[in-house]
C-alpha cells in the first residue's frame, strides 16, 4: 500500500506542478499557451528542442501566409506546413494531450475510442478557433467584449470541464473500488481494506478469496432466509462449495446485492453472473467522452486564431480555414499516438499484474490515478487562468 500511496502522492504533486498556466499573454493581447517559460522536468531538454522547432515552423507559417497575401503561389506549401506545425505543436507540452491521456487512463476506454477522441477533440479545437474569430469579427467588434475576452472564457470553460470530467471519473472509479470483492470482504470482516491490498504473501491472499466468497454467500443466505444459514458454516470447506452454491443461487435469485458483477470465471461463488458495470455504462462513458472532447477542444490554439484573423483581414478565407484544419489533423495524429501509448501502457501494466491477487485493484488504482490527475490538472489550469 505504501507503494501505491507513494505513486498516488507523486501524481498529486505532478498535477499541481502542471497547473501554472496563465490565460493572458505577457503582451496583454492574445492568449499565451503556458506561463511557466521553461520547467526543469525530466523532459525539459526535449521540450526545449521542440520549442525551437515550433518557433521555426511558426515563422515559416507566417512567411507562407504573407507570401500568399502578396499573390505568390504557395497554397499547398501553406497547407503542408500547417499540418507539420500541428504535429509538432502537439508534441510539445499542452493541456490537450494531458487531458486525453489522463482520461484514457481513468475511463478504461479502448484504443479505438482514444484515437477517435483525439481526432474529434482536435476538430472541435479548429471549429472553436473559427467560431471565436467569427464572433470576434462579426459580432464583438464595437462591444465591450473583445475576441481575446471570448477566448479567455472559452479557456476557463475548457479548464472547468477538465476538472468536472476528472471528478466524474473519480466518483465512478471509487464506486467500482467499493464493489471490489477484495474490498468488500475486508469491509465485511471489519478490517481496513487497505491492509488487504498490502497483503504480501499469496497464501494469505488466497485465504482472503475464500473468505470473500463465504462472506458473499453469507449475505445472500441472510436475505434468502434461514435455509442457507447451515451452509455458511460448511462453506469454509472446499468440497462443500458446489452443493451450497447451487442452493443459494436458487434461493437468492432476485436479490440484486448478491449478484456477481465480475467475469464469469471469477463468479464461481454461486452468485449469478451479470454484465460488469463498465459494460453497462456506455452512455455514461459517452457523456464523459463528449465532455473530454470539449475540455480539450473549447480552448482554441492561439496559432490557429492569429492565422484565421490574418486570413480574414486579407481575404485569404480558404487559405486560413484549410490551414487551420490541416493543423488540427496534424495535432490529432500526435495526440492519438499519445493516447494509444497510454492505453498500451495501462494494458501492459494490468497484464503484468494479472496473476497477483489484487489485479483488479490495480486496475481501479490506475483509474483513480487518472481521474485524480485530470482533477488536479483542471484545478491547476483554472487557478492559473483566474490568477492571470
Contact set for other proteins, span 324-363 (CB under 8 A): 338, 341-342, 345-346, 348-349, 352-353, 355-356, 362
Applying CB under 8 A, among 313, 318, 344, 386 the residue interacting with other proteins is 313
User: Distance between CA atoms of 104 and 21, rounded to whole angstroms?
Assistant: 23
Interaction of residue 286 with other proteins, rule CB under 8 A = no
Interaction of residue 285 with other proteins, rule CB under 8 A = no
Stretch in the footprint of other proteins (CB under 8 A) among 3-11, 109-117, 259-267, 289-297: 3-11
- Are 296 and 97 in contact by the 8 Å Cβ rule? The answer is no
Interaction of residue 194 with other proteins, rule CB under 8 A = no
Q: How many CB atoms lie within 10 A of CB 126?
A: 25
Interaction of residue 310 with other proteins, rule CB under 8 A = yes
How many helices (H) does the chain have, and how many strands (E)? Answer: 16, 0
As beta bridge partners, residue 273 has 260
Interaction of residue 161 with other proteins, rule CB under 8 A = no
Applying CB under 8 A, among 205, 223, 281, 314 the residue interacting with other proteins is 314
CB of 124 to other proteins, least distance (A): 20
- Are 147 and 306 in contact by the 8 Å Cβ rule? The answer is no
CB of 318 to other proteins, least distance (A): 16
Taking the least distance from each CB to other proteins, the nearer of 24 and 179 is 24
Applying CB under 8 A, among 44, 192, 279, 282 the residue interacting with other proteins is 44
Taking the least distance from each CB to other proteins, the nearer of 122 and 235 is 122
User: Distance between CA atoms of 302 and 297, rounded to whole angstroms?
Assistant: 12
Interaction of residue 235 with other proteins, rule CB under 8 A = no
DSSP 158-172: HHHHHHHHHHHHHHH
- Are 132 and 300 in contact by the 8 Å Cβ rule? The answer is yes
Interaction of residue 201 with other proteins, rule CB under 8 A = no
CB of 38 to other proteins, least distance (A): 4
Residues 64-123 that bind other proteins (CB under 8 A): 65-66, 69, 92-93, 97-98, 101-102, 105
Give the total of residues touching other proteins (CB under 8 A): 88
Interaction of residue 237 with other proteins, rule CB under 8 A = no
Interaction of residue 246 with other proteins, rule CB under 8 A = no
Applying CB under 8 A, among 74, 136, 289, 378 the residue interacting with other proteins is 136
- Are 368 and 180 in contact by the 8 Å Cβ rule? The answer is no
CB of 288 to other proteins, least distance (A): 19
CA distances from 378 to 98, 157, 158, 364 (A): 10, 10, 9, 21
- Are 126 and 321 in contact by the 8 Å Cβ rule? The answer is no
User: Distance between CA atoms of 314 and 270, rounded to whole angstroms?
Assistant: 73
Applying CB under 8 A, among 121, 148, 323, 334 the residue interacting with other proteins is 148
- Are 368 and 174 in contact by the 8 Å Cβ rule? The answer is yes
Applying CB under 8 A, among 115, 130, 307, 328 the residue interacting with other proteins is 307
Phi/psi at 143 (5° precision): -100, 175
Interaction of residue 303 with other proteins, rule CB under 8 A = yes
Closest to 295 in 3D by CA, of 76, 101, 60 = 101
Stretch in the footprint of other proteins (CB under 8 A) among 22-30, 154-162, 163-171, 249-257: 22-30
User: Distance between CA atoms of 295 and 285, rounded to whole angstroms?
Assistant: 15
x/- site string to other proteins, residues 24 to 43, per CB under 8 A? xxxxxxx-xxxxxxxxxxxx
Spatial neighbors of 50 by CB under 8 A, at least 6 apart, are 88, 91, 92
Amino acid at each position: 500500500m505504501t507503494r501505491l500511496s507513494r505513486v498516488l502522492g507523486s501524481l498529486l504533486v505532478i498535477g499541481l506542478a502542471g497547473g501554472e498556466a496563465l490565460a493572458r499573454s505577457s503582451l496583454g493581447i492574445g492568449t499565451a499557451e503556458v506561463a511557466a517559460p521553461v520547467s526543469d522536468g525530466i523532459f525539459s531538454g526535449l521540450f526545449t528542442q521542440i520549442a525551437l522547432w515550433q518557433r521555426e515552423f511558426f515563422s515559416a507559417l507566417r512567411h507562407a501566409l504573407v507570401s500568399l497575401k502578396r499573390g505568390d503561389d504557395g497554397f499547398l506549401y501553406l497547407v503542408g506546413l500547417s499540418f507539420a506545425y500541428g504535429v509538432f505543436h502537439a508534441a510539445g507540452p499542452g493541456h490537450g494531450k494531458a487531458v486525453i491521456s489522463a482520461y484514457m487512463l481513468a475511463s478504461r476506454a479502448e484504443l479505438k475510442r482514444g484515437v477517435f477522441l483525439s481526432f474529434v477533440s482536435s476538430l472541435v479545437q479548429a471549429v472553436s478557433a473559427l467560431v471565436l474569430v467569427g464572433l470576434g469579427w462579426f459580432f464583438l467588434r464595437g462591444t465591450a467584449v473583445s475576441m481575446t475576452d471570448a477566448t479567455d472564457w472559452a479557456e476557463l470553460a475548457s479548464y472547468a470541464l477538465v476538472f468536472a470530467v476528472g471528478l466524474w471519473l473519480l466518483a465512478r472509479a471509487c464506486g467500482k473500488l467499493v464493489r471490489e470483492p477484495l474490498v468488500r470482504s475486508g469491509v465485511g470482516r471489519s478490517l481496513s481494506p487497505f491492509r488487504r491490498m498490502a497483503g504480501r504473501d499469496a497464501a494469505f491472499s488466497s485465504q482472503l478469496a475464500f473468505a470473500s466468497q463465504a462472506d458473499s454467500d453469507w449475505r445472500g443466505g441472510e436475505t434468502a432466509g434461514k435455509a442457507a444459514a447451515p451452509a455458511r458454516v460448511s462453506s469454509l470447506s472446499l468440497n462443500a462449495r458446489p452443493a451450497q452454491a447451487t442452493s443459494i443461487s436458487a434461493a437468492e435469485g432476485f436479490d440484486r446485492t448478491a449478484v456477481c458483477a465480475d467475469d464469469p470465471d471469477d463468479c464461481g461463488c454461486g452468485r449469478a453472473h451479470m454484465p460488469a458495470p463498465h459494460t453497462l455504462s456506455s452512455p455514461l462513458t459517452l457523456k464523459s467522452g463528449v465532455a473530454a472532447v470539449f475540455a480539450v477542444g473549447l480552448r482554441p490554439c492561439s496559432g490557429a486564431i492569429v492565422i484565421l484573423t490574418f486570413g480574414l483581414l486579407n481575404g485569404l478565407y480558404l487559405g486560413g480555414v484549410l490551414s487551420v484544419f490541416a493543423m488540427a489533423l496534424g495535432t490529432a495524429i500526435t495526440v492519438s499516438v499519445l493516447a494509444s501509448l497510454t492505453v498500451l501502457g495501462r494494458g501492459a501494466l494490468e497484464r503484468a499484474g494479472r496473476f497477483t491477487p489484487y489485479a483488479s485493484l490495480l486496475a481501479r488504482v490506475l483509474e483513480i490515478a487518472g481521474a485524480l490527475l485530470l482533477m488536479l490538472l483542471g484545478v491547476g489550469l483554472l487557478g492559473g487562468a483566474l490568477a492571470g
